[in-house]
Amino acid sequence: MTFEPGTPASEVVADDHLLAAWLAEEAGRRLLEVRAEGLVGKELKDAGDRAAHVLLMDLLATYRPDDAVLSEEALESAADKDARLTAAKVWIVDPLDGTREFSEPPRDDWAVHVALWQDGELVAGAVAQPALGETFNTGTPPVVPARTSQRPRIAVSRTRPPAFVEALAKELDAELVPMGSAGVKMMSVVRDVADAYVHAGGQYEWDSAAPVAVARAAGLFTSRVDGSELVYNQSDVYLPDVIVCRPELSEKILAFISANGTD
């Protein structure tokens, strides 16, 4: 899904799925502009985080002024938390997921996450991969291609793949596929670049809300590593583990973790 830059059309504003995709694309455009400004290292990381966050906060204040927002880049006060926990609708955003990869042009494995939680459920979401020119969203759910690899593929961190996932890969005779950004890893299952993403090293709600919404819309299996449901808009936004995989792999993955743990 691609939108023209600028003010969204009325049908985009009226539809939460379309708005999520538009917001993610607008933030992605801004991040590409920042990336072209010649900054490097920490300056580029900080500038990207700040620019995408400010843009998303401004746009949400304009088009969804009555909704609460949970953003990785916002320091949540006690009053903000109280408002969020009593709100009917909460936007959960990660303005720049994969900051390290963003700061290493021309890498494309970074993303923007925009999700909408309403009355206990994720109801809309979008994950933009701006450097790839793709936005995956719940308005037009992705169709997961048939598997093109005989061996299962597990998306892992390119810098710190956990030992339990390496053991899981041996159990499944799977290949490890390193990449950055939690959202990119989850979308890699949507794209048939990987078949599973299994993480237990610590994350927050904004790391997985939008990718999980998109993965569910695409018919993929999603859960915590103990098989329980992923629950959002909690008082404690720490949500340390997640599984996103093709449905046919879920039982084997959960059985391995039940027997062996994640330590």
pLDDT tens digits for 149-178? 999 999 998 877 788 999 999 999 999 999
pLDDT at residue 219, as a whole number: 98
Q: Which of the four pLDDT bands, split at 50, 70 and 90, describes residue 105?
A: very high
Report pLDDT for 5.
77
- Let me know how long the chain is: 263
Q: Is the pLDDT of residue 211 over 80?
A: yes
Q: How far is Cα 151 from Cα 253, in angstroms, rounded to an integer?
A: 14
Q: 104-133: buried (b, 16+ CB within 10 Å) or exposed (e) per residue?
A: beebbbbbbbbbbbbeeebbbbbbbbbbee
Structure tokens at 68: 């609460």
- Residue pLDDT, tens place only, 175-209: 999 999 999 999 999 999 999 999 998 899 999 99
User: Across the chain, how many H-helices and E-strands are there?
Assistant: 9, 10
pTM of structure: 0.95
- Nearest CA-CA partner of 134 in 17, 16, 1: 1
**Residues 116-139, mean pLDDT to the nearest whole number:** 97
Q: What's the average model confidence in pLDDT over 77-101? A: 96
